[in-house]
Amino acid sequence: MGYILFISFRFLMSRKRQTLISILGVAIGVTAFVVMSSLMLGFQKYFIKQVIDLDAHISIKPRFEYEEERILKRVFSEDVLFEVLGAKPKESRRWIRDYKAIIKRFRDKKGIVGIAPHLRGNAIIRYGPRDVNVNLFGIDPVLERHATSIERYLENTDLKTLAVNGNSIILGKLVARDLGVDKTGKKVIVITPEGTFRIFEVIGFFNSGITTIDQSRAYIHIKSMQKLLNEPGKVNELVVKVSNVEQAVKIARFLERATGYEAQSWQEAYRNFLQLFKIQKAVTYMVVGAILLVSAFGIFNILMMTVLEKKKDIAILKAIGYSAGDITLIFMLQGIFIGIVGLIVGSITAYCLQEYLANVELDLEGLVRARGFILDRSPLYYIGGAVFALLFSFVASVYPSHRASKLDPVEIFRSGGI
């Protein structure tokens, strides 16, 4: 075996420049795979985690029914042909009327961690000359902490303060920025679409890091919301937290059948984003696969050239007793050696690049807000890079190795070698 390793290494070093290029190709592929996976999946996991923590795992709402022909049927019965060109949805139930019974019935069910009521609506928040449109949430501070994780993202306050002070409001971080509210204690005016208004005191801020959420939300006590809308005792949403987020769809279907209301899981609510992430993954791995494929062609090329150049040497090896299997192994080891060295170099480069990116401070504000790159430092990416690198290297060396093992030494000596 030692002689086989020695010969394999000597053959490989006879084309140093091409060997180095092949190693660099594998290293670049591994680096790209690890770093791009770390960046892409780091962002995706961060976004999904924030969404799962902030919004409901399952949201229960009244159903909207579309009966476009309901009015015409009442007037003309079923015997008249007609076509409806435009219709507004009929809201069969505007409120969740039996919400307390639903909470009591399902809060201790297996798989459900907590249920809380919401009264949601649109409003305008005014501070001095500035107005900002928001989604206003009326929440029960006691039940909310069991149903969502919003308290984790509160600044300068907690849900206990909201429970005590009925005239308090928590503004999204970017809502506060747009209003010019830079500290707590400020008084703002909340105006509903119906024209009613009320003065609230800012007791804190909500900073999730998700731009669209922090730029559009504000929270008040659910009783204050009911008074503001003149809808005492009413709620229009129940939020449910489950122990296993992957089971949210299944539990949502169960709650839908049991309550008669529409139940939507977080996967369904953010379906578009999840589909976008799948496409992003596919594109990323196609690019990385192309890089590794190019490096595989480099390995294939260097081994084929070695076979053509070393025909006489291969003939001599066979003549002194080396079997076809030994010749195959000599060339297979060359491909594997290139893959291993490229993997090591690529892994070290990827680690250094991750360290650099983790320490870069940037104010990123788009779909999410962060102070730098969001990385997922999972060792699985290194394992994945290793598997792909070694697989491509192995496949690229199969044919040249087979070709070398099939050379006939008699024919080579008769022709004078190459």
Give a yes or no: residue 64 inside a domain: no
Q: What is the pLDDT of residues 318-338, one digit of tens each?
A: 777 778 787 788 778 888 888
Owning domain of residue 214: 89-260
Give a yes or no: residue 252 inside a domain: yes
Q: What is the pLDDT of residues 130-142, one digit of tens each?
A: 999 999 999 999 9
In this structure, the number of other CB atoms found within 10 A of the CB of residue 164 comes to: 11
Give the end of a domain, one of 233, 260, 287.
260
Give a yes or no: residue 59 inside a domain: no
Question: Do both 161 and 203 map to the same domain?
Answer: yes
Question: Do both 15 and 122 map to the same domain?
Answer: no
At 301 the pLDDT is 77
**In a 10 Å sphere around its CB, with 0-12 CB exposed, 13-18 middle and 19+ buried, how is residue 138 labelled?**
buried
Nearest to 305 by CA among 1, 17, 5, 2: 17
Q: What is the pTM of this model?
A: 0.67
Question: Do both 100 and 145 map to the same domain?
Answer: yes
Give a yes or no: residue 76 inside a domain: no
DSSP code at position 18: H
Question: Do both 8 and 122 map to the same domain?
Answer: no
Question: Do both 152 and 298 map to the same domain?
Answer: no
Question: Do both 206 and 283 map to the same domain?
Answer: no
Give a yes or no: residue 63 inside a domain: no
What is the distance between the alpha carbons of residues 395 and 329, in angstroms, rounded to a whole number?
A: 13
Question: Do both 228 and 294 map to the same domain?
Answer: no
In this structure, the number of other CB atoms found within 10 A of the CB of residue 343 comes to: 23
Give the end of a domain, one of 203, 237, 260.
260
DSSP code at position 57: S
Q: Identify whether the C-beta of residue 179 lies closer than 8 Å to the C-beta of residue 171.
A: yes
What is the distance between the alpha carbons of residues 155 and 389, in angstroms, rounded to a whole number?
A: 47
At 251 the pLDDT is 92
Question: Do both 122 and 186 map to the same domain?
Answer: yes
Q: Identify whether the C-beta of residue 217 lies closer than 8 Å to the C-beta of residue 206.
A: yes
Question: Do both 237 and 353 map to the same domain?
Answer: no
At 75 the pLDDT is 58
Given CA atoms 218, 220, 224, 226 in this order, what sign does their dihedral have? positive
Split into its structural domains, the chain has a count of 2
Give a yes or no: residue 176 inside a domain: yes
List the Cα angle 51/38/373 in 5-degree steps. 70
Give a yes or no: residue 81 inside a domain: no
For the chain, the average pLDDT equals 82
Where does residue 207 fall: left (phi above 0), alpha (psi -120 to 50 degrees), or beta otherwise? beta
Give the end of a domain, one of 225, 260, 295.
260
CA dist 415 → 119, 324, 411, 418 (Å): 91, 20, 6, 8
Question: Do both 34 and 151 map to the same domain?
Answer: no
List, in order, residues 6 or more apart from 356 with CB less than 8 Å away.
none
Q: What is the pLDDT of residues 136-183, one digit of tens each?
A: 999 999 999 888 888 888 888 888 888 888 899 999 999 999 999 989
Question: Do both 134 and 254 map to the same domain?
Answer: yes
CA dist 113 → 40, 116, 205 (Å): 31, 10, 26
Give a yes or no: residue 355 inside a domain: yes
For the chain, 418 residues long, the average pLDDT of each consecutive 10-residue run is: 72 75 85 87 78 80 65 59 58 74 89 91 92 93 88 86 89 92 92 91 88 88 92 90 88 90 87 82 82 78 72 73 78 83 91 86 61 80 87 81 73 60
Rounded to the nearest angstrom, the gap between the alpha carbon of residue 154 and the centroid of all alpha carbons in its chain is: 23
Where does residue 260 fall: left (phi above 0), alpha (psi -120 to 50 degrees), or beta otherwise? left
Question: Do both 159 and 282 map to the same domain?
Answer: no
